[in-house]
Amino acid sequence: MAEKNSKLIMIVDDDPDYLFQLQFQIEKMGFEVVTAESQREAEQLIEKVKPDLAILDLMMENEDSGFILSHKFKRKYPDMPIIIATAVSSETGMSFGLNTDVERKWIKADLYLEKGIRPDQLHREIVKLLKL
Amino acid sequence: MESIDLLVVDDEPGIRSGIERILRNFTVSFPFIDEEISYNVIMAATGEEAIDIIKQKPPAIVLLDNKLPGIQGVDVLDYINSNVPNVLVMMITSYASLDLAVKATNIGAYDFVPKPFTPQELKTSVENITKHYLLRRMTRKLHREGKQVRFQFLTVLSHELKSPLNAVEGYLKMMQNKEAGDSIDGYMEFIDRSLARVKSMRGLIMDLLDLTHIESDKRSRTLREIDLTLVARTSVETMMPMAIQRDVTITLDADEPQVVLADSDDMEILFNNLISNAVKYNVSGGWVKCKVLREKSFVCICVSDSGIGIEQEDISKLFNEFTRIKNPMSKGVSGSGLGLSIVKRIAEMYGAEIKVESTPGKGSTFSIFIPVPSVDQLNEGI
């Protein structure tokens, strides 16, 4: 299955091990992967590559780095699907999703995922967003 | 100029307007507060009226007559005590009912001023109660901020403790699902990375223990005369294996004993943090120079390195808790983000000054100037 979808996925997370794990899993699904370890790095990377989908951590150098990046990415590539993956709600008790129109308007992302999701679930979501 | 609300409750119009006149242009100032304080006098003729006003917006201070037409002063006092205990009450009372005034102070009035009073007597009383009000307000504020800081620390700490757990859990799950195949050889990188996270978590816990040591011994710390040259030598020996591993040479330039009054654990933590940073953020083939020397009334601990250096703009952030300067050069170096905040705390405790000089790509020098005890202090041993 590796050959038929050479889509490029950008992963941004400030934990190098989470990045490594996600990259390993997504490459195994047959996608190509580019990574960035910070909001700053991601902002530079998006100038050089045009991913087909991006998976962003929420809290990096800023508490809302993921939202900021999402906003900027959408301005540059309005059709690129964006997943925000975070452990925020399990760590802080804060919870938000993309269930209401207000939230969808405010959070410029297509999908909001909890970290620790199983690879097969993640695969399904990616395939859905990429309309494969 | 800050204006604080002062409510006068008295059924005699003459007393009310008299107090208003006296306090209209009266200001007080205290050494612990920058602004002058003036009064915004509000008036009530009955206890009921007073409670209405207090309900809407509690004043800072209430001057309260006891003998009122409806409910009595003590009833108002009772209401204040149970509903707005931060409001300070001063009873206004005639000499004939002094015992009542004393009773009132027992049940929560701050003070009383006997009637009739001179303008000066009133001013003195108001000044006193204002001082008390402001001091209490400051204490409450400090208390709140202290809690806030602690809460922030714990929030970040729990995040810092959870991240390595999440990482290791992630690798274990990947192994459980055999995501890299059936051979154990395919998992070596997962295992190495897990072990590295476990190690850095252990480092964080060691640093937390150091912090606890500093916090808990703040009061009961016993200072002794200790020779910093000796502490430096021990610390260099401790760090030597790590330095050899990273191909960094450490030299110690300290021949004479340099005596300060300190806790030897504190000083060891100080040296270990500075030297281990200098080794960690260095380059292969680099060097670390540690000096302990007398400079006027200070002993200077000076640790220089040939390492990656720090951008000028990052230097001010260095000493914050859980701050790690992230750049391509520091990537791959593990640390808890607590080391330099520990150094700063210790330095502050000993009234020492910290100086940082750094050139990115060339290296950094951290200097700590610890005041040398006077002969008297040495004799007393503190």
CATH of the domain at B228: 3.30.565.10
As a whole number, the mean pLDDT across chain A is 83
Residue B183 belongs to a domain: no
Q: Provide mean pLDDT across the span B198-220.
A: 78
Q: Provide mean pLDDT across the span B110-136.
A: 86
* Sheet containing A82-86, strands listed edge to edge, beginning at the edge strand earlier in sequence: A32-36, A8-12, A53-57, A82-86, A111-114
Q: Provide mean pLDDT across the span A20-37.
A: 95
Inspect the interface and report whether the beta carbons of B331 and A28 lie closer than 8 Å.
no
Kindly state whether residues B139 and B30 are assigned to the same domain: yes
As a whole number, the mean pLDDT across chain B is 86
Q: How does residue B322 score in pLDDT terms, banded at 50, 70 and 90?
A: confident
Q: Assess whether pLDDT exceeds 90 at residue B330.
A: no
Q: Half-sphere exposure (CA, 13 Å, Cβ side) for B347?
A: 23
A24 touches chain B (CB under 8 A): yes
A23 touches chain B (CB under 8 A): no
DSSP A25-87: HHHHTT-EEEEESSHHHHHHHHHH---SEEEEES-SSSTTHHHHHHHHHHHH-TT--EEEEE-
Inspect the interface and report whether the beta carbons of B179 and A17 lie closer than 8 Å.
no
State residue B171's pLDDT score: 94
Residue of A nearest to B324 (CA): A61
Residue B348 belongs to a domain: yes
Per-residue pLDDT of B306-316, as tens digits, reads 999 998 888 88
DSSP B332-373: T----S-HHHHHHHHHHHTT-EEEEEEETTTEEEEEEEEEPP
Question: Which two three-digit tokens encode residue B365?
Answer: 């020098």
State residue B333's pLDDT score: 72
State residue A109's pLDDT score: 78
Q: Give backbone dihedrals phi and psi of B355, rounded to 5 degrees, phi first.
A: -125, 135
- Find the range with the poorest average confidence among A116-125, B172-181, B367-376: B367-376
Q: Provide mean pLDDT across the span A61-84.
A: 88
Residue B181 belongs to a domain: no
Kindly state whether residues B368 and B260 are assigned to the same domain: yes
Residue B27 belongs to a domain: yes
Q: Assess whether pLDDT exceeds 80 at residue B341.
A: yes
A21 neighbourhood in chain B, CB within 8 Å:
167, 170-171, 174
State residue B102's pLDDT score: 72
pLDDT over 70, % of chain A: 80
Task: Give me the amino acid identity at B55.
Answer: K
Q: Taking Cα atoms as reference points, which of B254, B250, B263 lies closest to residue B223?
A: B263
Q: Taking Cα atoms as reference points, which of B64, B48, B46 lies closest to residue B101?
A: B64
Q: What is the CATH number of the domain that holds B128?
A: 3.40.50.2300
Q: How far is B151 from chain A (nearest CA, A)?
A: 13
Task: Give me the amino acid identity at B218.
Answer: K
pLDDT over 70, % of chain B: 91
Q: Provide mean pLDDT across the span B136-149.
A: 73
State residue B106's pLDDT score: 74
Q: How far is B362 from chain A (nearest CA, A)?
A: 24
State residue A91's pLDDT score: 47
For residue B185, give the DSSP letter: G
Q: Provide mean pLDDT across the span B177-202.
A: 92
Scan residues 87-106 of A and list those with Cβ closer than 8 Å to B.
Answer: 87, 91-92
Q: Provide mean pLDDT across the span B109-128.
A: 86
Into which CATH architecture does domain A8-129 fall?
3-Layer(aba) Sandwich (3.40)
Of A15, A20, A119, the CB nearest to B163: A15
Highest mean pLDDT, choosing among B45-59, B126-140, B341-355: B45-59
Kindly state whether residues B371 and B235 are assigned to the same domain: yes
In the listed set B123, B144, B165, which residue is the last one of a domain according to the structure?
A: B144
State residue B66's pLDDT score: 83
Q: Assess whether pLDDT exceeds 80 at residue B89.
A: yes
pLDDT: is B331 or A70 the higher one?
A70
**What is the CB neighbour count within 10 angstroms for residue B266?**
23
- Find the range with the poorest average confidence among A38-42, B41-45, B231-235, B320-324: B320-324
For residue B6, give the DSSP letter: E
pLDDT: is B158 or B268 the higher one?
B268
Residue B296 belongs to a domain: yes
Q: Provide mean pLDDT across the span B173-198.
A: 93
In the listed set B122, B144, B166, which residue is the last one of a domain according to the structure?
A: B144
Residue B184 belongs to a domain: no
All structural domains of chain A with their residue ranges? 8-129
Residue B369 belongs to a domain: yes
Give the three-state DSSP class for B377.
helix
Q: Provide mean pLDDT across the span A13-34.
A: 94
Inspect the interface and report whether the beta carbons of A91 and B158 lie closer than 8 Å.
yes
Q: Provide mean pLDDT across the span B33-47.
A: 90
pLDDT: is B137 or B281 the higher one?
B281
Kindly state whether residues B138 and B227 are assigned to the same domain: no
| Helix or strand holding residue B268 (H, E) | helix B264-280
Per-residue pLDDT of B215-263, as tens digits, reads 765 555 667 888 999 999 999 998 898 898 889 999 999 888 998 888 8
pLDDT: is A100 or B341 the higher one?
B341
Who's near B59: CB < 8 A, 6+ residues apart? B4, B5, B6, B7, B42, B53, B87
* Sheet containing B2-9, strands listed edge to edge, beginning at the edge strand earlier in sequence: B27-28, B37-44, B2-9, B61-65, B88-94, B111-115
Question: Which two three-digit tokens encode residue A77?
Answer: 């590539």
In the listed set B144, B163, B181, which residue is the last one of a domain according to the structure?
A: B144
Of B158, B170, B326, the CB nearest to A21: B170
**What is the CB neighbour count within 10 angstroms for residue B17?**
14
Q: Provide mean pLDDT across the span B20-29.
A: 91
Q: How does residue A98 score in pLDDT terms, banded at 50, 70 and 90?
A: low
Inspect the interface and report whether the beta carbons of A24 and B179 lie closer than 8 Å.
yes
Q: How does residue B57 score in pLDDT terms, banded at 50, 70 and 90?
A: very high
State residue A1's pLDDT score: 46
For chain B, the domain total comes to 2
Q: Provide mean pLDDT across the span B176-202.
A: 92
Inspect the interface and report whether the beta carbons of B174 and A38 lie closer than 8 Å.
no
Q: How far is B17 from chain A (nearest CA, A)?
A: 54
Residue B257 belongs to a domain: yes
- Find the range with the poorest average confidence among A71-85, B189-203, B260-274, B317-331: B317-331
Kindly state whether residues B375 and B238 are assigned to the same domain: yes
Of B155, B166, B179, the CB nearest to A25: B179
Q: Provide mean pLDDT across the span B329-345.
A: 80
Distance of CA B355 to the CA centre of its chain: 21
Range of the domain at B109: 2-144
- Rounded Cα–Cα distance for residues B80 and B74 (Å): 10
State residue A112's pLDDT score: 83
Q: Assess whether pLDDT exceeds 80 at residue A93.
A: no
